[in-house]
Amino acid sequence: MAEQKKEYTAESIKILEGLEGVRRRPAMYIGGTGKDGLHHLVYEIVDNSVDESMAGYCKTINIQIGKDGSCTVIDDGRGIPVDVNKQYKKTGVEIAFTKLHAGGKFDKDTYKISGGLHGVGASVVNALSTKLTVQVRKSGKIYEQSYKRGNPTGDLEVVGKCKDDEHGTSVSFLPDPEIFSTVEFDFAFLKKRLQEIAFLNAGLKIILEDVRTGKKEEFYYAGGLIEFIQHITHSKSPLHKPIYFKKQQETTVVEVAVQYSESYNENIFGFVNTINTTEGGTHISGFKSALTGVINDYAKKKGLLKDVDVEGDDTREGVNAIVSLKLADPQFEGQTKTKLGNSEIKGVVDSLTTTALSEYFEENPSIANKIVQKAIAAAKARDAAKKARDLVRRKNALGFSGLPGKLADCSSKKFEKTEMYIVEGDSAAGSSKMARDKDFQAILPLKGKILNVEKANPVKALSSEEVANLITAVGTGIKENFDQSKLRYNKIIIMCDADVDGQHITTLLLTFFFRYTPQLIENGNIYIAVAPLFRIRKGKDLYVYTEEEKEKKVKELGGKADVQRFKGLGEMNPQQLWDTTMNPKSRILKRVTIEDAVEADKTFSMLMGDEVGPRKEFITKNAHIAEVDL
């Protein structure tokens, strides 16, 4: 029978009433339905409380994770309006929690500045929760209304009394397991963002409690951005005390903290109305332009530039900066607000930053001189690094296909299918080359441990044969020359031994990718292969990945099994390596992501940098949870 064609008529167009559209396409509103999306619900409600703080009405926000898996956010702001809106014939509470694009964010008199999700935050959280209850305390009364998957289960009612001067809002919600792949809130995950919010709002107290475990953290920073920048540079050998300024042009407030360190890495974090703009935007462009201009102008004025041209990248080597904007009408690119798009803001930030930094440099010549000298050193190093890169290119041009001689390439031309395994040691390289599928799997062996690029300057790093081979094999180039379109393999997989040395090599490689090609992590191209620790043989081979898993499996098998512990990948024969670690149908891969750029930078600096104190403190604190390989 011929297939019957369906008519495309007006009847084909579906209208999603109320919040049904949010439930159908949640990723459009919260970015995804995994761990990130789940915690985004908390941030949306917290952002509404922060808006009250920025308006001058809220001093404390309390976030509680309940035993039932719920999250409750309590603030001491003005409280959501409980009176009836004449247009909709509903209370302000019900409108806020059931109508998209409804809220005080659109009334410039109510919130001159806000970070909430364009007026959809509360209603989106409501739509994606099995149950949500809101309580408002104001005018001596406690009002309450509950909802189920976005729909009211009753009217807003007075359920009790409170003191006449007591005010605020409490929102308690239970995420919907039909929507999310996980509905378990992560205390540590929430802690990072909430601490960030407290840093950005000097004088605001944020309390995080986990009723399940009894954990409790309190964040309060009277120093705001100054304490934030010191937190970031804690393990980086700062060159000077923090530079801080706060300037305003009309309704736009620009607040900046800057502190250079002896490291070679650039770390500039942007925030707009406390929202972390991880992809940057016009405010970051304006700051960078001002920094380059001020340093160059000061250096020329003092006659410090001789036979060297200082470029933008040079002025940002070793810089740590926080650029925080309070903006009346931010235009974000994308629903989850990761990039600021207001074109006029670039000029505003550039102008205010130029004025503030120029004044600071004139008043603090010793600090200005340190910063300029660092930029000049960076410019000289850049020239030397360019020569090193050119040398690498010339060497590669002499070899076959310009690729490292040790690379065992794959034959497939289908990019989506291709993957490159990075392995260490001759035995592991030999096994993996025999185990792989030559059609789509390439092998790049490393000789020993790759250079720690956190400590090494770019010239030394690029002069390293192993680093050069890695850069060439990946194909994208690095830092300012990075080009995603030139990536040679869709997946880059770090495959090291499960012992301490293997973990160290993995960390060294991750440090390289984070500092030189962070885009590969952001785009989801970097993976870590998970190799089994034990083989249990009883009739057939079983592979397990942890000590606990081994004990459980041996017990299930009656306590009589032949158990072999793999101390390295080289101990596996090619078939075992294929079955456990390289076969796409049976292997376990961990995709590397950056959940929090501020925390990631701090952690890499602490683990791989020159400062011994913070690393020793970290090891002492976490030694009890480390596995001992006997």
188-229 residue pLDDT tens: 989 989 999 999 999 999 999 999 999 999 999 999 999 999
pLDDT band, residue 536 (cuts 50/70/90): confident
Residue 599 has pLDDT above 50, yes or no: yes
Residues 74, 172, 138, CA angle at the centre, nearest 5°?
45
Which pLDDT value is given to residue 623? Answer: 53
Q: Once rounded to an integer, what is the mean pLDDT over residues 133-137?
A: 97
Query: Which structure tokens are listed for 599?
Result: 């925390």
Q: Once rounded to an integer, what is the mean pLDDT over residues 223-245?
A: 93
SS (H, E, C) 515-551: HHCHHHHHCCCEEEECCCCEEEEECEEEEECCHHHHH
DSSP conformation letters of 400-458 = GGGS-TT-B------GGG-EEEEEESHHHHHHHHHHS-TTTEEEEEE-SPPP-TTTS-H
Helix, strand or coil, per DSSP, at residue 563: strand
- Which among 499, 522, 549, 611 is annotated as catalytic? 499
Top pLDDT among 608 and 563 is at 563
Which pLDDT value is given to residue 628? Answer: 39
Give the Cα separation of 345 and 325 in Å (integer).
10
Residue with tokens 């185990």: 435
Amino acid occupying residue 148: K
Top pLDDT among 416 and 329 is at 416
Residue 39 has pLDDT above 90, yes or no: yes
- Which among 52, 94, 497, 579 is annotated as catalytic? 497
To the query of whether residue 497 is one of the catalytic residues in this protein, the response is yes
333-345 residue pLDDT tens: 765 567 899 999 9
Q: Do 498 and 533 meet the contact criterion of CB atoms below 8 Å apart?
A: yes
Q: What is the dihedral of CA 447, 451, 452, 457, to 10 degrees?
A: -170
Which pLDDT value is given to residue 3? Answer: 47
pLDDT band, residue 135 (cuts 50/70/90): very high
Residues 268, 269, 272, CA angle at the centre, nearest 5°?
135
Listed in sequence order, the DSSP H helices in 55-101 are 92-98
- What is the Cα Rg of the chain in Å? 28
- Which among 166, 313, 501, 541 is annotated as catalytic? 501
Q: Do 58 and 77 meet the contact criterion of CB atoms below 8 Å apart?
A: yes
Give the Cα separation of 101 and 29 in Å (integer).
12
Give the Cα separation of 44 and 120 in Å (integer).
9
Greatest Cα pair distance, the chain, in angstroms, is 86
465-479 residue pLDDT tens: 888 889 989 999 888
Q: Do 284 and 626 meet the contact criterion of CB atoms below 8 Å apart?
A: no
Domain boundaries, the chain: 20-219, 225-378, 399-531+567-594, 534-544+547-565
For domain 225-378, give the CATH number. 3.30.230.10
In CATH, the architecture of 399-531+567-594 is 3-Layer(aba) Sandwich (3.40)
| CA within 13 Å, CB half, 215 | 14
Q: pTM for this one?
A: 0.71
Beta strands in 39-167 (DSSP E): 60-65, 71-75, 84-85, 90-91, 129-138, 141-148, 151-152, 157-161
Q: Do 324 and 271 meet the contact criterion of CB atoms below 8 Å apart?
A: yes
Amino acid occupying residue 204: L
Q: Which residues touch 499 (CB under 8 Å, ≥6 apart)?
A: 567, 568, 629
DSSP conformation letters of 336-363 = TT-SB--HHHHHHHHHHHHHHHHHHHHH
Q: Once rounded to an integer, what is the mean pLDDT over residues 63-86?
A: 94
Q: Do 451 and 460 meet the contact criterion of CB atoms below 8 Å apart?
A: yes
Top pLDDT among 371 and 382 is at 371
To the query of whether residue 499 is one of the catalytic residues in this protein, the response is yes
428-445 residue pLDDT tens: 888 899 999 999 999 999
Which pLDDT value is given to residue 426? Answer: 80
Q: Do 375 and 315 meet the contact criterion of CB atoms below 8 Å apart?
A: yes
Residue with tokens 């410039």: 108
* Cα torsion angle, 360, 365, 368, 370, sign: negative
Which pLDDT value is given to residue 365? Answer: 95
Which pLDDT value is given to residue 131? Answer: 97
Q: In this structure, are strands 491-495 and 526-529 parallel, antiparallel, or unpaired? A: parallel
Residue 132 has pLDDT above 70, yes or no: yes
Which pLDDT value is given to residue 615? Answer: 64
Q: Do 272 and 282 meet the contact criterion of CB atoms below 8 Å apart?
A: no
pLDDT band, residue 263 (cuts 50/70/90): confident
- Mean pLDDT score of the chain, rounded to an integer? 85
Q: Do 449 and 508 meet the contact criterion of CB atoms below 8 Å apart?
A: yes
Q: Which residues touch 630 (CB under 8 Å, ≥6 apart)?
A: none
Residue 109 has pLDDT above 60, yes or no: no
Residue with tokens 């041209």: 309
Q: Once rounded to an integer, what is the mean pLDDT over residues 545-557?
A: 83
Please provide residue 172's backbone torsions phi and psi, each rounded to the nearest 5 degrees: -120, 125
Residue 629 has pLDDT above 50, yes or no: no
Q: How many CB atoms lie within 10 A of CB 160?
A: 10
- Which among 424, 454, 466, 579 is annotated as catalytic? 424
CA end-to-end span of the chain? 70
| CA within 13 Å, CB half, 115 | 27
Q: Which residues touch 450 (CB under 8 Å, ≥6 apart)?
A: 464, 466, 467, 470, 505, 508, 509, 512
Q: Once rounded to an integer, what is the mean pLDDT over residues 150-177?
A: 95
| CA within 13 Å, CB half, 84 | 8
To the query of whether residue 307 is one of the catalytic residues in this protein, the response is no
| Closest CA relative to residue 24, chosen from 127, 151, 168, 177 | 127
91-100 residue pLDDT tens: 999 999 988 8
Q: What is the dihedral of CA 527, 528, 531, 533, to 10 degrees?
A: -150
Beta strands in 28-128 (DSSP E): 60-65, 71-75, 84-85, 90-91
Tell me the CA distances in angstroms from 292 to 139, 280, 305, 350, one per residue in order: 54, 17, 14, 10
Give the Cα separation of 346 and 461 in Å (integer).
34
To the query of whether residue 596 is one of the catalytic residues in this protein, the response is no
Helix, strand or coil, per DSSP, at residue 85: strand
Please provide residue 204's backbone torsions phi and psi, each rounded to the nearest 5 degrees: -90, 130
Q: Once rounded to an integer, what is the mean pLDDT over residues 3-31?
A: 65
Q: In this structure, are strands 419-424 and 441-446 parallel, antiparallel, or unpaired? A: parallel
Q: Do 88 and 99 meet the contact criterion of CB atoms below 8 Å apart?
A: yes
Residue 8 has pLDDT above 50, yes or no: no
Residue 7 has pLDDT above 80, yes or no: no
Which pLDDT value is given to residue 178? Answer: 94
Give the Cα separation of 312 and 295 in Å (integer).
10
Query: Exposed, middle or buried by CB within 10 Å (0-12, 13-18, 19+), for 229?
Result: buried
For domain 20-219, give the CATH number. 3.30.565.10
